Structure 1
Amino acid sequence: MERNLLKSQKNGTGEEEEKKNSGKKPIGDDESKEKEKVQSEIEPKTGLSFPVKLDDGQQLNAVGVRKKSMLGISIKVYGFGMYADNARLKDVLESKFGKAPAKPTEEMYRLVIDSDAGMQVRLVIVFSQLTMSMVRKNFDEGLGASIKKLTGAKNGELAKKVMGEASDDIKLTSGSAVEISRLPGYILQTKVMGEVVSKVESELLCRAYVNMYLGDDPLDKEAKDRFGMSLISLF
């Protein structure tokens, strides 16, 4: 009887310990969650999260939002993150500037626009009623205008190559991603929801695309300024 009582007491203790342990978080759980927070940045106007580093090593230098006026109402079309090969950009900047300027200069932005350093702008759709044809039209107009600023001529045919073979049937729901990358050698690559839809070798097209974000009439002035401050931090 005494043995049964001891056994019962041990079982009870074991059950209590098990209950206590079941409510505990695994060691390092809070730490891993904190790490996850550190590894992404939130674009405040859309609430979208962007990883601070891509698989290829490019780092997030700025986040922003693209707005467009429709029937007199300002609509958030997409949030974006601007990534770059910062080691390469550092070399580009240091070859021109001996030390960091007090604040970002147009000459700094121009060096980035004209270089072939790896960059990516990751667009995440916010406007749920966006269609592929609307995206195509938006890029054709925006890039065409950017090309005209650089050369004096619009060159609509070159601008149209960015969306390449992307089908107008593609449904871009909220959260869908479009990634447009400038690869070394002045190659502009476009991915829609992870699928490559175009890959165009053109120095002008690469410069015109980056100019949309870092030129004298950027899509998001605050994002351009943040990117500029990240450039200064590279020195």
Structure 2
Amino acid sequence: MNSDTQSTTGNRDTKEEKITENDETELLRDDKEMPVEVERKTGVSFPIELSDGKELKAVGVRKKSVLGLPIKIYSFGIYTDSQKLMGVLKSKIGKAEANTTNEMCRIVIDNPVGITVKMVIVFSNLTMSMVRKNFNETVEAAIRKLGGEKNELTKRIMGEAKDGVKLTRGSELEITCLPGYVLETKVHGKVVNKFESEMLCRACVYLYLGDDPLDKEAKEKFGMSLLSLV
């Protein structure tokens, strides 16, 4: 009786161990096969889909001239809610061939379609104060190009992130334009600010899809993705 009970228990334990091992293997396999796109100039990988379902449409790199030399500051990926984007495009335009990608990008800039720009720092020794100053300046320039005036809300984009925070290579920031023109900012995965501003949402998207984008190749690729939606 006792020996039979021990034998049955031993078999059950062995079976459970095998299930556990198989499950772990499957999890590892899923993790390894998670699709990404690599920004070729920096080698930074971006997942093709975010946890909220937004899909990657283009990757690029932000450069800044220092003493006449182009310095790579961060890589970025542009993500959208494809279904919402498709609905807005189809409601605004007719046949795809009758519209340029520039016109389509302008529709994206002017309408709250749900866009996230994920930025990954590639330049070492940055601080939050440096990023805040540079981002505020570029957004203010975008506001002027959109016909707006200086907006004090630009100072709130990086929100509660402390100026002394070090942004080492691989640090992540996210700017998201939510429905209703709500601008949300994340630093290291933490929400540091969230407020409503139509002009700032449009300006932040304009930086990447406007007339003088931070990376022309990224804008071109994004524009091609719009053609495939309509």
Using structure 1 for the length normalisation, give the TM-score. 0.83
Higher mean C-alpha deviation, range 90-99 or range 185-194 = 90-99
Among residues 39, 42, 46, which one is paired with 1:46 in the alignment?
Answer: 42
Note the C-alpha offset of 1:32: 5.1
Q: Which runs of 5+ in 2 are unaligned?
A: 1-23
Separation in 1 of the partners of 2:72 and 2:97?
Answer: 33
Encode CA deviations 1:186-233: one digit per residue, 9 max, x unaligned: 001000001111112011110011011101011101000000000111
Alignment of 1:20-59 (within 5 A): 35-36=33-34, 39-59=35-55
Using structure 2 for the length normalisation, give the TM-score. 0.84
Query: CA contact under 8 A between 1:150 and 1:208: conserved in structure 2?
Result: yes
1:233 aligned counterpart, secondary structure: helix
Equivalent residue letter for 1:150: L
2:104 aligned counterpart, secondary structure: helix
Q: How large is the Cα RMSD of the aligned pairs?
A: 2.0
Separation in 2 of the partners of 1:57 and 1:77?
Answer: 27
Q: Does 1:176 align with 2:171?
A: yes
Separation in 2 of the partners of 1:30 and 1:116?
Answer: 37
Q: Partner of 2:110 in structure 1?
A: 114
Among residues 88, 93, 102, which one is paired with 1:92 in the alignment?
Answer: 88
Identical-residue share of aligned pairs (%) = 60
Query: CA contact under 8 A between 1:103 and 1:232: conserved in structure 2?
Result: no
Q: Partner of 2:134 in structure 1?
A: 138
Q: Partner of 1:23 in structure 2?
A: none
Q: Does 1:216 align with 2:211?
A: yes
Encode CA deviations 1:83-141: one digit per residue, 9 max, x unaligned: 00011010111112222227743221111001111110000000011111110011110
Alignment of 1:126-205 (within 5 A): 126-155=122-151, 157-205=152-200
Equivalent residue letter for 2:122: V
Q: How many pairs are equivalent?
A: 207
Q: Which runs of 5+ in 1 are unaligned?
A: 1-25
Q: Partner of 2:221 in structure 1?
A: 226
Equivalent residue letter for 2:207: M
